[in-house]
Structure 1
């Protein structure tokens, strides 16, 4: 009799496990969608950025950069990154069109060669301008680019966070998965762990110094990426955020790369 009950209960246990897994996926997706909803409607923004590169020995080099971004309805953002200093990278410009479902488009203008180089999709995992950020890290994180799973709630620095796992759905990603800690108040990421194609921890990104703009949109002052496998680090320090400056899609065509200075 007991054996019969166990046999009857077994499918229920399996069903319960399946529903729990589905619930975790649905909850992870819902969190990602809420993050996206809260950061929609800002239109365009400009900012200044200092990029600090550190090698394993702690030696530093610094770059001064301007960033312009355009929000595109029903698609990913367009962004233009312009290097102003030092002299060896001055005039270098990076243009990125993020897409939700189709492959992103990216171009790099190299002033020394006076030509525009297209970044191939299969090279998106490569380092961006010698930093610990990959080309694929320099795109907006559109919801359909990943599948999701909720992991747990956890405190980070005294703040409550929601921890989700996301799995890249786009081709040629350098990551098998990312674990993201999301502040449960502002619904912005405070930490991201990146796992390489062998599913080993590759990098950790921490975001800090968040401020709210236009009474709604949160932006960090600092983003710090450490590569655990090489010991190298890159810090991005952001300042002078400005919103709704009147940028249009014409400011993000391929000719804008050569005009950027």
Structure 2
């Protein structure tokens, strides 16, 4: 485990340096952020779109084997909620599986999530302990499908670090309500030029490192900076998950009806 942890930490340091060299840097803010919440607010402000459509390829490497899954993902923000719909296309044993998530801006409201399993025509709401469950045999949990709103967490700016040609702001985010979460806190490294995370460390409630996310392949698409790759390394098992994001399109005018719970069975 120590060797694995050291490898992840070394890889993370290399990623911080290489990522900034792999993308053309956008202009930095003239005024540095005053605190951790301001860093997180600038991250939120990067995506100015109303909706997004993309294809996600998931590669899970475990026990010398690779499990591949392909899905289509749609998301839209309106009326104080972000709605996300994921539809699995391949392989055939998961084709037709759908996840629908409602992420509310109001921190007093619990997010909603449903999964539809076509094999037995079952529509199930995921809540409570179900949020802490593993997502489709990957190194993600169901709760990772939810978008954390700024007011869901507290934010503390710990330090800044060089990131090759730019700098990273390291922010500690703690959940205000962790009753449905595996996590106690997250450390987020945010690039100070394009204001996107390059690395996130997830710690459990005993402050043990659970997993590390590394983001790369940054591109400016329709004037919006976004990542096209995410690598997830688990500290609890010998496993690695890669997510590849392709065919990314913003502001497609997605219909509200697309995100109706009643449409999941169709």
TM-score range, shorter chain: 0.7 to 0.9
Give the whole-Å Cα distance in 1 for the aligned partners of 2:162 and 2:35.
Answer: 18
How far apart are residue 244 of structure 1 and its match?
A: 1.4
How far apart are residue 148 of structure 1 and its match?
A: 0.7
Give CA-to-partner distance per residue, 1:3-32, whole Å, 9 cap, x none.
xxxxxxxxxxxxxxxxxxxxxx96011111
Aligned to 2:171: 164
Aligned to 2:188: 180
Aligned to 2:30: none
How far apart are residue 137 of structure 1 and its match?
A: 1.1
Aligned to 2:78: 72
User: How many aligned positions are there?
Assistant: 231
Shift of the 26–166 alpha-carbon distance from structure 1 to 2, 3 Å rule, reads farther
Check conservation: 2:46, 2:225, Cα contact below 8 A: no
Pick aligned residue for 1:27 from 18, 35, 51: 35
Give the whole-Å Cα distance in 2 for the aligned partners of 1:157 and 1:122.
Answer: 41
The answer on 1:104 being equivalent to 2:111 is yes
How far apart are residue 146 of structure 1 and its match?
A: 0.6
Check conservation: 1:104, 1:121, Cα contact below 8 A: no
Give CA-to-partner distance per residue, 1:130-175, whole Å, 9 cap, x none.
1111111112231011101001111245541100000012332110
RMSD of the alignment, in Å? Answer: 1.6
Pick aligned residue for 2:145 from 134, 138, 141: 138
Check conservation: 1:103, 1:121, Cα contact below 8 A: no
Pick aligned residue for 2:233 from 226, 234, 240: 226
Which of structures 1 and 2 has the bigger CA Rg?
1
How far apart are residue 178 of structure 1 and its match?
A: 0.2
Alignment of 1:169-248 (within 5 A): 169-170=176-177, 171-215=179-223, 217-248=224-255
Check conservation: 1:224, 1:234, Cα contact below 8 A: yes
The answer on 1:85 being equivalent to 2:90 is yes
Aligned to 1:17: none
Give CA-to-partner distance per residue, 1:175-199, whole Å, 9 cap, x none.
0100000000111100000001221
Give the whole-Å Cα distance in 1 for the aligned partners of 2:130 and 2:212.
Answer: 21
Give the whole-Å Cα distance in 2 for the aligned partners of 1:159 and 1:141.
Answer: 26
Give the whole-Å Cα distance in 2 for the aligned partners of 1:208 and 1:194.
Answer: 18
Normalised by the length of structure 1, the TM-score is 0.84
- Runs of 4+ in structure 1 off by over 3 angstroms are 156-159
Ranges in structure 1 where 5+ consecutive residues have no aligned partner: 1-24
Pick aligned residue for 1:116 from 120, 123, 147: 123
Ranges in structure 2 where 5+ consecutive residues have no aligned partner: 1-32
Normalised by the length of structure 2, the TM-score is 0.83
Check conservation: 2:117, 2:123, Cα contact below 8 A: yes
Give CA-to-partner distance per residue, 1:226-251, whole Å, 9 cap, x none.
10111211110010001111212211
Check conservation: 2:116, 2:123, Cα contact below 8 A: yes
Give CA-to-partner distance per residue, 1:111-148, whole Å, 9 cap, x none.
01102111013321211111111111112231011101
